[in-house]
């Protein structure tokens, strides 16, 4: 069985603060992919990153960074120097090998206050 | 041009109505998906089409009927819906329906069933 847990339902930060969104996953497969998506108020899910289970290198893209740790089954997402435009719901997702669906967490609603 | 478009963006319908949601992708992808996003619940996969063939149907009630006339278009036909079917319906596409393929989402149709 596969499962994604985003324990933080809502987070509020003041602009320019750093914020980390947690994601913990469960899977029995050794081959899988992890994703983060952003859903702004407009509704569209915007793809942010994909990471496969064999690549534990952390990744940085501008103000965004991701920390993948297989030992703790976590794939956390950090936004540095947050901005109001970062306000959105962020989803972590997992897909196992084989013909299995993409499984999403319940999402974390991030509010960045000016 | 936006990769995945959905129309209408908002729809209000009575329980006896028949309506259709439309999705179009301009990415040259071969796989398309319907998801349902209800309040307080994770995104739920409803249907998957690959090369216009349905490859997955996650026990969706028959009042939801998908149609994929070609690899660029996907419809969701609705009839005799219930109020609990009110949700955001998201369409997505990917190159193929493989593990390694990232899904790209449209903006969704916000459906309200009265």
Whole-number Cα distances in Å, A6 to A94, A100, B71: 12, 20, 33
Calculate the average pLDDT of chain B. 91
pLDDT of residue B1: 52
What value does the mean pLDDT take over residues B8-35?
Answer: 94
Assign B60 to helix, strand or coil. coil
Contact A92, A105 (CB under 8 A): yes
**Whose CA is closest to A45, among B90, B99, B110?**
B90
pLDDT of residue B64: 95
The residue ranking higher by pLDDT, B111 or B58, is B111
Query: Looking at the complex, does the CB of residue A19 fall below 8 Å from at least one CB of chain B?
Result: no
Q: Do B43 and A104 touch (CB under 8 A)?
A: yes
Pick A44's closest partner by Cβ from B42, B100, B105: B105
Query: Looking at the complex, does the CB of residue A52 fall below 8 Å from at least one CB of chain B?
Result: yes
Q: Do A33 and B100 touch (CB under 8 A)?
A: yes
- Checking DSSP bridges between strand A32-39 and strand A46-52, what pairing results, if any? antiparallel
CA distance B98 to chain A (A): 7
**Whose CA is closest to A105, among A31, A8, A30, A17?**
A8
Q: Is the pLDDT of residue B57 over 80?
A: no
Q: Do B40 and A95 touch (CB under 8 A)?
A: no
CA dist A70 and A79 (Å) reads 21
Whole-number Cα distances in Å, A47 to A63, A113, B56, B62, B85: 16, 23, 22, 30, 26
* pLDDT tens-digit map of A79-89: 999 999 999 99
A37 contacts on B by Cβ (under 8 Å): 105
Query: Looking at the complex, does the CB of residue A96 fall below 8 Å from at least one CB of chain B?
Result: yes
Q: How many CB pairs under 8 A join A and B?
A: 50
């Amino acid at each position: 069985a596969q499962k994604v847990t985003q324990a933080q339902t809502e987070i509020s930060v003041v602009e320019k603060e750093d914020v980390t969104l947690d994601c913990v996953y469960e899977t029995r497969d050794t081959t899988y992919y992890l994703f983060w998506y952003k859903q702004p108020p407009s509704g569209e899910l915007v793809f942010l990153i994909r990471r496969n289970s064999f690549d534990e290198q952390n990744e940085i893209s501008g103000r965004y960074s991701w920390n993948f740790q297989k030992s703790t089954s976590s794939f956390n997402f950090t936004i540095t120097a947050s901005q109001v435009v970062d306000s959105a719901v962020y989803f972590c997702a997992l897909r196992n090998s084989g013909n299995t669906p993409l499984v999403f967490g319940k999402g974390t609603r991030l509010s960045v206050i000016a | 041009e936006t990769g995945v478009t959905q129309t209408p963006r908002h729809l209000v319908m009575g329980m006896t109505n028949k309506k259709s949601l439309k999705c179009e992708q301009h990415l040259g992808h071969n796989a398309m998906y319907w998801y349902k996003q209800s309040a307080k619940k994770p995104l739920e996969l409803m249907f998957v089409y690959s090369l216009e063939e349905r490859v997955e149907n996650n026990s969706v009630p028959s009042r939801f009927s998908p149609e994929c006339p070609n690899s660029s278009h996907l419809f969701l036909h609705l009839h005799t819906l219930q109020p609990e079917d009110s949700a955001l319906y998201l369409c997505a596409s990917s190159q193929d329906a493989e593990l390694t393929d990232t899904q790209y989402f449209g903006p969704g149709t916000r459906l309200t069933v009265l």
